[in-house]
Amino acid sequence: MALKLMIQGTMSNAGKSFFSAALCRIFCEDGYSCAPFKSQNMALNSFITSEGLEMGRAQAMQAEAACVEPSVLMNPILLKPTSDVGSQVIVNGRVRGNMRASEYFRNKKQFIPEIMEAFNELDKKHDIIVIEGAGSPVELNLKADDIVNMGMAKLAGAPVLLVGDIDRGGIFAQLLGTLMLLEEDERRMVKGLVVNRFRGDKTLFNDGCRILEEKGNVPVAGVVPYIKCDIDDEDSLSDKLENREKGLVNIAVIRLPRMSNFTDFDVFTQYDGVSVSYVTKPSEISEADMIIIPGTKSTISDMKWLRESGIEAAVIRAAEKGVPVFGICGGYQMLGKIISDPDNTEGGGEIRGMGLLPCTTVFHLEKTRTQISGVMGNLTGPLAALSGKSFSGYEIHMGRTDVEGNCLSRFENGISDGCNVKNIYGSYVHGLFDSTEISREIIMALFKSKGLTYGGKAMSRQEYKETQYKLLADSVRANIDMKLIYKILNEKL
- What residues does 160 pair with on adjacent strands? 6, 190
Q: 362 and 372 in contact (C-beta within 8 Å)?
A: no
Active-site residues, by number, are 329, 430
Calculate the alpha carbon distances from 409 to 90, 381, 402 in Å. Answer: 29, 15, 14
Give the per-residue SS3 of 100-169. EHHHHHHHHHHHHHHHHHHHHHHHHHCCEEEEECCCCCCCCCCHHHCCCCHHHHHHHCCCEEEEEEHHHC
Question: What does the pLDDT read at residue 195?
Answer: 98
- Read off the pTM: 0.90
Conformational region of residue 329, where left means phi above 0, alpha means psi within -120 to 50, and beta covers everything else:
left
Q: 365 and 349 in contact (C-beta within 8 Å)?
A: no
For the CA atoms of 448, 452, 454, 455, the dihedral, rounded to the nearest 10 degrees, stands at: 140
Q: 57 and 43 in contact (C-beta within 8 Å)?
A: yes
Question: What does the pLDDT read at residue 31?
Answer: 98
Calculate the alpha carbon distances from 181 to 12, 143, 150, 209 in Å. Answer: 17, 11, 12, 20
Burial of 472 from C-beta contacts in 10 A (0-12 / 13-18 / 19+): buried
Type of residue found at 177 = G
Print burial letters for 342-364: b (CB count within 10 Å at least 16), e (below 16).
eeebbeeeeeebbebbbbbbbbe
CA 213 to chain CA mean position, Å: 34
Consecutive 10-residue averages of pLDDT for the chain (493 residues): 96 94 98 98 91 94 97 96 82 90 85 96 97 95 90 97 96 98 97 97 95 98 93 67 85 95 92 94 94 94 96 97 97 97 85 97 91 96 96 92 91 91 97 95 96 87 94 97 97 79
Q: Kindly state the DSSP code that residue 87 receives in the 8-state scheme.
A: E
Task: Please state, as a whole number, how many other Cβ atoms lie within 10 Å of the Cβ of residue 11.
Answer: 18
Task: Please state, as a whole number, how many other Cβ atoms lie within 10 Å of the Cβ of residue 170.
Answer: 13
Distance separating alpha carbons of residues 297 and 83, to the nearest angstrom: 9
Q: Kindly state the DSSP code that residue 233 receives in the 8-state scheme.
A: -
Question: What does the pLDDT read at residue 240?
Answer: 73
- What residues does 94 pair with on adjacent strands? 91
Span between the terminal Cα atoms of the chain, in Å = 15
Distance separating alpha carbons of residues 16 and 14, to the nearest angstrom: 6
Q: 15 and 195 in contact (C-beta within 8 Å)?
A: no
Distance separating alpha carbons of residues 252 and 243, to the nearest angstrom: 10
* 3-class SS of residue 329: coil
Distance separating alpha carbons of residues 296 and 82, to the nearest angstrom: 9
For the CA atoms of 268, 398, 51, 67, the dihedral, rounded to the nearest 10 degrees, stands at: 30
